[in-house]
Structure 1
Amino acid sequence: MADREALIASVALLKRNLMAAPFERAFAEQAALEAANDPTKTGTLLPLHYRAEEAIYILPAPDRVTVVFSTRFEEETDQVFGRVFLQEFVDARRQPSIQNAPQVLYSSREPPLEIRGVPGLDHGDQVGYVTFVLFPRHFQHPDVRAVTISHVQLFRDYLHYHIKCSKAYMHSRMRFRVAEFLKVLNRAKPEHSERERKTASGRTFRRA
């Protein structure tokens, strides 16, 4: 029974574990760079192309591991919502209650310095770059490392989920407001009480 549950869990986490490999390599390289005690050295940039036009770039350094997401918004409304959400990530990091969270940076169109030399990067209005700076406290302990990898991987899904929920909420509020306006207009219509007309013989007169 235990082997069966372990097999089910491993199959369910297959994608997560495959995408975790570059993170594990970057964390190991960061430890080696820290032990070398040479702050001028940086590790190997590890690209993870998990979608057709989007990627994750992981760069280890002696004191940190930088994770850069390139995210693409196809619709114009998604671009607006995405910028608002991503800017809020940057601003929320300044709150005292979450000072231990990874540092978050956002740049629209222009890629950050860590990946500026990568060929083929898009600079259009549809593209944004989100940078997470992970410090050793975010990945030195094995349990914390596993949680960090899982959460960082799901960032794009988390972002687009909330964009879609926000759009759905706004559409529902717009439909509700339109229905309320129609009720007001219907109540404002004057009632036309048409008097019944009869012919000389007493029959009701109806227009053809």
Structure 2
Amino acid sequence: MLLLDYQNVLIQSVLTERFSGAPPASIDQTVSDFDGVTFHISTPETKTQILLSIQIRCFPDLVKYGAEEVLQREYGDYVAPVEPGFDFSVLVDLENLPESKEERDALALKFALLKRNAMAAPFEQAYQEHYALKEEASKFTSEEAPQGVREGGEVKAIHYREEEAIYVKASHDRVTVIFSTVFREETDRVFGKVFIQEFVDARRRAIQNAPQVLFRNDAPLELQGVPGIQNTNSGDIGYVTFVLFPRHLTPQRMSDVISHIQTFRDYFHYHIKASKAYIHSRMRKRTADFLQVLRRARPENEEKERKTASGRTFKVQGN
């Protein structure tokens, strides 16, 4: 299976080229990313100053969970006044770049990770809640722990697509991440269940330390009382649950885990579409092979019908 990049590759490519010492040039490009995210990279005032802006559907949700603080921490002095029509902007001066190529490449990658870093805010907050709840729970036995510690933190909802959302809930012994996903076609549901079962079986067979993965058509218990949850039981909406245990929640693993899990939906549906395309291509090839067999089976000597001058017909048998 193909692992998708966390960064926007086109943004990274453009910035790497600009940072490599190429002559300054005007830029005005709009770049689309997964989940309806839009980037705008431009040189509005001078060719040596590049402005990168991002528009995210769920940015108000992200702000509630500390996105502005995360972005300020990651981009610091590069943060610029927000371009109209967008949610966040950074500005880089080509005349004030790091000296080494490695540092310039790392800077281009950091800007290309703008979406990833914005989407990381609720996950980072859930990690911090988990640490606090874990410390509080250590003061009590499981029976004596206060209700707030036993039930965990509030559910963080990120409505990143029109009909889909990510829900994150921290507890003292785990962090639960739930993706609601819409299946437009029956074949998508079939492929989706096959992929999810592969996650389950892979953990059972070889990757014992992987997060637990669950799939169901009705909303999990963690989402009871959360506004906007639909229980249609029609199969159009599925809920994929990842359970992150303490071994996944260490500060050393936090960055990689957040990067992996927030791209799950794109990875999931990308492979559903790729599988359908592969099967369709195989069907077309089989059809072409079958037609070729039929052409070979057609008799070479066919009866030929001819007419006389008076209009009467007669058949001529091939030799």
Q: CA deviation at 1:79?
A: 1.8
Query: Does the Cα contact within 8 Å between 1:90 and 1:106 map onto a contact in 2?
Result: no
The answer to whether the 8 Å contact 1:33/1:41 transfers is: no
Amino acid at match of 2:280: H
1:151 aligns with 2:251: no
CA apart distance, 1:4:
4.2
The aligned residue for residue 282 of structure 2 is 173
Matched, 1:8 2:116: no
1:77-96 → structure 2 map (5 Å cutoff): 77-95=187-205
Structure 1 moving runs of 4+ over 4 Å: none
Separation in 2, partners of 1:193, 1:80: 48
Please give the per-residue CA displacement for 1:73-128, whole angstroms capped at 9, x wherever unaligned. Answer: 11222122112212222232211x201011111112x1111112212212332110
Separation in 1 of the partners of 2:292 and 2:282? 15
| 1:71 counterpart residue number | 181
1:106 matched residue in structure 2: 215
Q: 1:194 to 1:72 in 2, by over 3 A?
A: closer
Higher helix fraction: Structure 1 or Structure 2? 1
Counterpart contact for 1:27–1:65, Cα < 8 Å:
yes
Equivalent residue letter for 2:189? Q
Inter-partner Cα distance in structure 2 for 1:102 and 1:174: 36
SS in 1 for 2:153: coil
Could you tell me which runs of 5 or more consecutive residues in structure 2 were left unpaired when the two chains were aligned: 1-97, 138-144, 309-319
Instruction: Measure the CA separation in 2 of the matches of 1:120 and 1:41.
Output: 21
Displacement of 1:193: 5.5
Percent of aligned positions with the same letter in both sequences?
Answer: 59
Cα shift readout 1:107-162 (whole Å, capped 9, x = no counterpart): 12x111111221221233211001101112112133x1100000001101111111
> What number of residue pairs does the alignment pair up?
195
Displacement of 1:184 in angstroms is 1.3
Q: TM-score, normalised by structure 2?
A: 0.57
User: How far, CA to CA, are the matches of 1:6 and 1:85 in structure 2?
Assistant: 34
Match of 2:160 among 41, 50, 58: 50
Q: CA RMSD in A?
A: 2.0
Q: Which runs of 5+ in 1 are unaligned?
A: 200-208
Amino acid at match of 1:36: E
Using the size of structure 1 for normalisation, the TM-score is 0.86
User: Is the partner of 1:159 in helix, strand or coil?
Assistant: helix
Structure having greater relative contact order (Cα 8 Å, sep ≥ 6): 1
